[in-house]
Each structure stands twice: as structure tokens, then as C-alpha cells.
Amino acid sequence: MIEPVIDVRDLTKVYQMGEVEVHALRGVSMQVMPGEMVAIMGPSGSGKSTLMNMLGCLDTPTSGEYYLEGAAVSDLNDQGLTSIRRHKVGFVFQTYNLLSRTSALANVEIPLIYGGVPRRQRRQRAIEALEMVGLGDRLHHQPNELSGGEQQRVAVARSLASEPAIILADEPTGNLDTRSGKEVMAVFQQLNRERGITVILVTHDPDIARHAQRIIWVRDGLVERAEQVGDRILADDSQGSEEDKGQAVAVAALDASGTFEEVAS
Amino acid sequence: MSRLLESFRIALRGLVANKVRAALTMLGIIIGVAAVIALVSIGEGFSAYVSGELEGLGTRTLFVWTNRDAANPQQLTTADAEALADPLACPGIEAVAPAYQQGATATYAGIETSPNVSGVTPEYLTVQSYDMKVGRFIEQDDVDHRGRVAVLGSTPASDLFPGSAYPIGETIRLNDVPFEVIGVMAEKGSTGPMDNDDVVLIPLTTAQTRLFTVDTVRGDYVVSSINVLVQSEDMLDSTIEDVSAVLRERHRIQPGDTDDFQVRNPSDMVETVTGITTTLTIFLGAIAAISLLVGGIGIMNIMLVSVTERTREIGLRKAVGAGKSDILWQFLIEAVVMSLIGGLLGIGLGTAISQIAGSALDMQTVVSVNSVGLAFGFSAAVGVFFGIYPAMRAANLHPIDALRYE
């Protein structure tokens, strides 16, 4: 039995907006197996970005448990969270968030700087990452010299550079035209297939979501349902293979609090 | 360590990206440090100059003169000087040199000059530590016989006898009274406002009776000052007391009344003047330090702007693995680098200013290692002090909030 790479149990997040308490997450439970590619969908304000921030250790939950590769994350301090961001997860943002007036190469090197990778090795790994996203000929271009799709691919290379097990992408194609979006998704799929990197992405777009093997719908801070749309590539698939019609809806049980659990049929 | 180096690199890149802004920010520190360095070195130079001048007067010497602020001052007389010379009354005294001083016209072969003419006794040579160049000094015999002999200081000697190194035996006229030149003194230089070389020395008695019209007090001739040489420096204080006791008794001053004379030691004056100039230096330095403080506030201001401007960058850096300390160092180093570069340039500028001021005011201004170290340390401290708040603000930014910042 393979352990889930991400195991979230009853996660809640409450924001204090002035006088009002905003319940962004009301008790989310979900698991992601190693090598999976999962899309999280839901209307805006459903809490999917909040969930992503929790998964990426950019934010801490109000309550609930989060196990990353079997280790409890929910009670890590700031330093522990920094370490996870540095070594275990790569993050891709909707708005790319590249440093302006800084070459693609230097942008990709940033996480490696904080990972303490020596200079020469850093350069080498950044070049490799950029080649992997098909930008081997754009190393010294600055963001304003690159198209949106290329900028997002630089951002993907940046998330790759520190060789994380998981890449989290928050609306990675949200600012891109269809063609560039497809290019970026192709990169994600390639990384997922060829390198076994677990990819979790948030999207509005059903076409984009279809690239994933599983779709999780979030609504009002709860997991609404989950749907298996493709084969898991590397994960233990012995249970999934028993499902009828290959690409069937995963049998999902929603408990009273809306917690999602995959149940072997 | 290597991470710190990276923070350093990132900080430098940040500065280079905003050259004009960094330069203007540094200007505050440059001016502040330059002002501290220049003012302190000028102050120290002035104080060294003044105390150097005063120390030329000799540290074992006491000056006694009439206190004109007293109610009914009785002038000092030759008899007062003789009383002080009594080893029973003042055991610490080595020599007593009364002098009567007045300006006069000296002429020789149609050349005219106006030196200070002092009537003195043989002890004057020792007490004032003059050296003879040629000839002899005034002797007791000259004083006893009110001889018309004169010893020239180096200034009147070269004025009256240009080209002649040996004017001994020549006759000069002081206020039309003929005097025979018996000696010339070696150059001594000036002490404070007094030119010790523009003098002509004659026997005290001659000055009191033949050359000038001098008052008498109970039959004794008045002197302008009594210079006393004390045997050793540690006897200065006790000798001052002895001298005061003798003179109070002679002048019949009632207990509780103020002295009608003053006893001063040059080192007292040095201390007084040094105290004043030191206070002045500290005061000027403090004013300059205020400008350094203002420069520091400038750094804080620009760092806060920089942090706000780069909020998204900070968020991104944190999201990809930068820890609090990485961000803290990045901004702190940026502030400290600005203040240190500013400090170095300020030290350069301050040194230049103090050199220029030194040559303009004709005195030795020294930029001391202390003031350089102080200014450098202070500017580093300013960088840390005013950099830490913006840096902490940056370090404590929440990655999500920072990334969302518009």
C-alpha cells in the first residue's frame, strides 16, 4: 500500500475580515497519491485557492491536520514551513510572479539560492529546468521579452528547479490564451508522466481540468465531489483498475461534514 | 555563510537597480559623517594648537600679577618679589623674576622699531627659559648699578642690525636714552598672543628709574609681574599657597577678603582652554551627529519605500523558500551597505574639508583614528538601527498577503 503524498483531514480556515469571520474552508479532507495529477475546480470564493495555499504551506490552517509525505505539517512553525516550501513543493501562480529586469535563468535560480545550492550547480540545474519546459534558447531573456506562455513556463521551471515531489499550480493558465494554456498544460503532463511529479492544479476551465486524472470539486469551503477522469500513472492502481469502464467516476463517499473519501469498490 | 553572501549579492543588485535613489539616500550619511569628521578634527586641531602655545610657557612657572578686579588693588613691587625669594617663606621656589614691562621706541642708525622693553633681573633668563645667542645676559651688577645695558630679542636684533650677527658694543637708543648692547638672545617663538622675540631686556632698576616713570608703593618701585620658577611640578600647588600667604600678609589683606593679586600656572590655563575647546568640539560634533541621525532617518524612509515597492517580490521569494532571516538580511544588508558606503565617502569628504580648513586657518588639523572609527561605527550603527525596522517588516510579511499586494 503506497502512502498518500498529501493527506488532509478536516482542514478549516477562518479569516478575520474586520468584524466579520470568513470561513474559507469548513473542513476539507482529501488525499493525493504520489504521481497523481489532480485538478481542483470550483466557483470563485469556494476556497480552492485557500486550500492550495494550505497545501503549499504558504498559509496555516485554523484547525485540522495536514500530512505531507507522512509528516505532520499543520503544527510546524514558520521555519518548518519555510523548509517545506524550499525543498518539497513548487508553486506556480496565475500571474507568473517573475522578477522583472531579471533573466529567466536568474529567476529560476531563486529557489536554489535559498536551498543553499552552490553557484555553479545552481546554474546547471536552472538551465536543465528551463530546457525541460522548452526554453533552452531563452535563458537570458527578461520577462518583458517573453510571451505570457513563455513567462509561465519560466515560472514552471522555477517551481521545478529545486526538484520538488509536488508542484502546486494556482490557475496556471488563467492569464493565458488557449494555445499557450495548452502548451503549459503539456509541460505539466510531461513532468507528471516522465518524472512522476505529483501535480495539483486549480482551474476554472473544464478543458484544462481534463488534463488531470482526477478532478476534485470544491464549493463553499467543502469538497463537493471527486471524479476520476484518467489513469493514475505511477500510483498504486490496483484498486482503481477494478473500476468498471476504465475512466469511471471514482466512488466517493461524502460524509456529513462534506469530507471526501475514496472508497474501494 | 554562503546564504549570507547571496543576501549580500541580492542587496547589492537592489542598490544598483536604484542608483540615483541609493546615492541620494547615501548623501544624508555622507554629509553627516563628513560634518562629524571635519568639525571634530578642526576642534581637536584648535585645541592642540592652543595648548601647544600655552605649554611653551613652561610647566614649572607661576605668574603673579595684580588682580585689577579687587576693591583696592595694591600693585606688586620689587620688595614683594624679594619677599618671595625668601626660602623660609616659600621653600618650593627656585627663582623669582620680577619684571617691569612697557613699550618703547628703539632706534639705531636711523632705523626705528617698537619692541616691548622689560626691566628684568638675572633670574629672568632661567625663569623664562631664554637662550643667549651672542654676548651675555643682564647680571646682578648691572641691576645694582642701574646700568644702561640692553639684551636684544631676535626681532629687534635683526631689525636694528640687518646683516650683522654681532651687534655687541653698539649703542642703541630707547626713548632717546642710550643703551649699550651686551647680548642677543636666541629665537624663542611666540607663546599665545605674546611675541617673545620682539623684546629688549634691560636691568629692572634701570627701567624703573632711568627709562620709565614708575609708581612707588611705600618707597618701593612697582613691577608689572613676578614670574616664579618652582623647583618641581609637584610643588606647584603648595608654592601657590605660599606665594599667596606671603603676598596677603604684605598687602595686609584681611581674612575673607579677596586677593589683590593673581597667581597663575600655565598648565591651569592649558586646562581651562582645553576644557573650553573640548566642550566646543563635543558640541559641534553633537550638532553634526544630528545630521547623521537625519541621514539615518532618510535611510529608514527609503528602505520602507523599498519594502513596500517590493512586497510582491518578497512574497514570491518567501513562496519559493526564502526564510524570514533571508529576507531580513537582504534588506538589512542593503541599509547597512548604503550607510557604510556613505560613511566611507563621508570620511573622505570630512578629511578633505579638515585639510582645507587646516591650511586656511594655518593650524594642524588631525583626523584622528578615533574620530574615523567613531564615524564609521556610528554610520554602521545608523544603518543597522534604521534598517532593522524596515527589514523586519519585510521579513514578517505573510507570503500570501505579500503576493496579493497591489
Q: Per residue of chain A (265 residues), give pLDDT as tens.
A: 788 999 999 999 998 888 899 999 999 999 999 999 999 999 888 889 899 999 999 988 999 999 999 899 987 888 999 999 999 999 999 999 999 889 999 999 999 999 989 999 999 999 999 999 999 999 999 999 999 999 999 999 999 999 999 999 999 999 999 999 999 999 999 999 999 999 999 998 888 898 899 999 999 999 999 988 876 544 444 444 433 333 333 333 333 344 444 443 3
| Final residue of a structural domain among B265, B284, B310 | B265
Whether residue A52 is found in the same domain as residue A172? yes
> CA end-to-end span of chain B, whole Å?
34
- Return the pLDDT at A263: 40
- Return the pLDDT at A256: 37
| Cβ–Cβ below 8 Å for A56 and B319 | yes
Is B318 within 8 Å of chain A by CB?
yes
- % of chain A beyond a pLDDT of 90: 66
Give B18→chain A minimum CA distance, Å.
12
Q: Which helix (H) or strand (E) holds B272?
A: helix B266-309
Distance CA A80, CA B209 (A): 101
| Cβ–Cβ below 8 Å for B321 and A97 | no
Q: Are strands A252-254 and A260-262 parallel, antiparallel or unpaired?
A: antiparallel
- Return the pLDDT at A5: 93
| Cβ–Cβ below 8 Å for A53 and B400 | yes
* Contact in structure between B98 and B156 (CB atoms under 8 Å): no
Give B313→chain A minimum CA distance, Å.
7
Give B1→chain A minimum CA distance, Å.
10
- Return the pLDDT at B376: 85
| Final residue of a structural domain among B240, B265, B290 | B265
Q: Which helix (H) or strand (E) holds B7?
A: helix B2-17
- Return the pLDDT at B191: 59
Residue A110: which of B312, B317, B324 has the nearest Cβ? B317
Is B399 within 8 Å of chain A by CB?
yes
- Return the pLDDT at B274: 79
Distance CA B96, CA B87 (A): 11
Q: Which of these, A121, A188, A124, A194, lies nearest to A155 by C-alpha position?
A: A188
Dihedral in degrees, nearest 10, Cα atoms B397, B399, B401, B403:
120
Q: Which residues of A touch B (CB under 8 A)?
A: 53, 56, 58-59, 78-79, 82, 85-87, 90-91, 93, 97, 99, 101, 110-111, 113-116, 118, 158-159, 162
The arithmetic mean of pLDDT across residues B92-113, rounded, is 90
| Cβ–Cβ below 8 Å for A87 and B321 | yes
Q: Which helix (H) or strand (E) holds B378?
A: helix B369-395
Whether residue A151 is found in the same domain as residue A262? no
- Return the pLDDT at B252: 86
Whether residue A114 is found in the same domain as residue A205? no
Tell the residue number behind the cell numbers 517551481, with chain if given.
A159
Whether residue B48 is found in the same domain as residue B106? no
Q: Which of these, A222, A208, A91, A214, lies nearest to A158 by C-alpha position?
A: A91
Query: What is the count of structural domains for chain B?
Result: 2
| Cβ–Cβ below 8 Å for B2 and A111 | no
Is B313 within 8 Å of chain A by CB?
yes
Q: Which of these, A226, A85, A213, lies nearest to A161 by C-alpha position?
A: A85
pLDDT at position B316 over 90:
yes
Indicate the pLDDT class of residue B190, thresholds 50, 70 and 90: low
- Return the pLDDT at B117: 92
Structure-block grid coordinates of residue B254? 584681611
Distance CA B203, CA B149 (A): 7
Structure-block grid coordinates of residue A33? 497519491
Sign of the alpha-carbon torsion through B293, B294, B298, B301: positive
Q: Are strands A166-170 and A198-203 parallel, antiparallel or unpaired?
A: parallel
Whether residue B302 is found in the same domain as residue B172? no
- Return the pLDDT at B215: 81
Indicate the pLDDT class of residue B257, thresholds 50, 70 and 90: confident
Q: What is the pLDDT of residues A69-117, one digit of tens each?
A: 989 998 788 899 999 999 999 999 999 999 988 999 999 999 999 998 9
- % of chain B beyond a pLDDT of 70: 97
Q: Which helix (H) or strand (E) holds A78?
A: helix A78-87
| Final residue of a structural domain among A147, A163, A179 | A163
| Final residue of a structural domain among B265, B290, B314 | B265
Give me the half-sphere count of Cα atoms (radius 13 Å) on the Cβ side of residue B141. 3
Domain that holds residue B212: 61-265
Optimal mutation site among B310, B312, B316, B317, interface A, most CBs of chain A within 10 A: B316
Domain that holds residue A107: 89-163
In a domain, A80, yes or no: no
